[in-house]
Structure 1
């Protein structure tokens, strides 16, 4: 069996997608999270092995030859990470050339055969990265609040708590402080009132996780003033990150694909629309594209980038991925 391999290593799970070039079949394997920042390099390697073996087990059991591989790895944040992560990949003994990128770039390869444009991710956190066919690239730090980068669920919750703090201290004008967010957070934590809520958050008696984000979005969609302000600020900041990356790549005045991924953008049409409106105000030539296949598909396309004939063959196969997803119960973002 001759095959190409794509691997998406995340913090909570790892996906491997194998394209059997003899039978034309695609198989998806799943493993545990392998971000080296949390799992270590040994954990990263083990998660890759599990996912790859799971994918290959679904195909004919015969001698196999890997023709090329693509890896998107969460935690590959700086160039200094390339050597140790590459050394881990080499221990897989695939015997083929491979490409390595940060996992946030994988969505680009699902929208373009050369993987160019900008990818904006808003899930638990946020990230924006881009690349162009001539080698130009751009990025943000991907370090969230610490570096003033907003857009994901954790940042949305942070901004909501901040606005409630402003309301309690009367930083908001009298008469504008009332918000459904206060009721939502009091109900979730069991706090007696807003003062108790803020004290409890500051002293770690109460925790509000990123899972609260959909409730904030719903309040905003229903017209709550404070929630709308929070959602708009989060979306605006993510749009400014896209602008920054476009400027780095010198494509801010020309058309480019902007691929949207992450649970907040993929599962909330409301937030998606707010974000795209913010982007259009800054970058009218950006073309928003919602990721509609698992990111690991991008890793496979990355592996195929140097083989035009095979890339064309698998690109045609990937037109059927949506049907396969439905048949096998695959879900976006899993």
Structure 2
């Protein structure tokens, strides 16, 4: 029997999923931040912890694994791979493949070997592969390099919106009360001064306050979510045009917690309009399983195994990971 391991290392969590050549799930593991760009030692420890938890559950050793596929946030450029390969080899992996995390989200969300993936979790990213196998990534860094949004930026948008409503630069917002409750303050001025005096950082969880406020019609929340959708739509269109996919039929897979949990079309709507304009035959789909499933499928495929219809049906609904929300703990 041959065994395979898929790993999804994100900015706030790392998942590992272990299966055999027939698509039977044998073990799973989870840990914290797996993005080396925000801490290489932390990422290495998280990848190790998640992988060895899956191995322990399956009753296997690392040397029993035929191939491991790692979809890692921050695996963007040669510089990143020069850092990541020693980390992965240092854990003990020998037969493995590393890719950026958009590609495992894409693999988990479509049964075609090509398409576009949009990630909106802790950060944002866009990447695609065309029918000829050519790959292109757009973004995945931060605001200075052209990106906008993700939990690590929308949290700031929430905080500054509350501040601007408090000091009179903007209209009142429904996010004020929930933000004060989240951060443990009675008044905005207390929060404002405490953050200034002690150099505090806004927790990522603050980004989630956008969704209930938008559901109640809060203009500021709606505007922020709309901008997030517009920016992701621009990234999708850029990938489509760069790869010459305007006339192809393919899936644009939406992945990441801010796209798959909470959004009622505020972000997705602008994305759909941008995709429809760039590639009329494309379909926008929301990832309905964990991206780590795509990592496991990719591990099997890297060893020459074709994923059968039965294996798709067996593994696609795999949702046994307990959801880990964006953490308030500073990594």
Please confirm whether the aligned pair reaches a TM-score higher than 0.5, indicating the same fold.
yes
Do 1:2 and 1:64's aligned partners in 2 also have CA atoms closer than 8 Å? no
Match of 1:311 in 2: 306
- CA distances 1:274-299 after superposition (whole Å, capped 9, x unpaired): 22210222221341222222211111
RMSD: 3.3
Q: Which moved more, 1:180-189 or 1:233-242?
A: 180-189
Q: Distance between the aligned counterparts of 2:13 and 2:65, measured in 1?
A: 23
Count, aligned residues: 320
**Cα distance, 1:63–1:29 mapped onto 2, change above 3 Å:** closer
Match of 1:135 in 2: 133
- Structure 2 alignment gaps of length 5 or more: 326-331
Q: Distance between the aligned counterparts of 1:40 and 1:8, measured in 2?
A: 15
Q: CA deviation at 1:222?
A: 0.8
Do 2:134 and 2:243's aligned partners in 1 also have CA atoms closer than 8 Å? yes
Q: CA deviation at 1:65?
A: 4.6
* 2:175 equivalent among 174, 181, 194: 181
Q: CA deviation at 1:191?
A: 6.2
- Structure 1 alignment gaps of length 5 or more: none
Match of 1:226 in 2: 220
Match of 2:21 in 1: 21
Match of 1:190 in 2: 185
Q: CA deviation at 1:186?
A: 5.0
Q: TM-score w.r.t. structure 2 length?
A: 0.80
**Cα distance, 1:201–1:67 mapped onto 2, change above 3 Å:** same
Q: CA deviation at 1:21?
A: 2.7
Do 2:7 and 2:69's aligned partners in 1 also have CA atoms closer than 8 Å? yes
Residue aligned with 1:320, SS:
helix
Q: Distance between the aligned counterparts of 1:44 and 1:63, measured in 2?
A: 18
Do 2:23 and 2:315's aligned partners in 1 also have CA atoms closer than 8 Å? no
Q: CA deviation at 1:268?
A: 0.8
Select the structure of larger CA radius of gyration: 1
**Cα distance, 1:229–1:256 mapped onto 2, change above 3 Å:** same
Q: CA deviation at 1:107?
A: 0.7
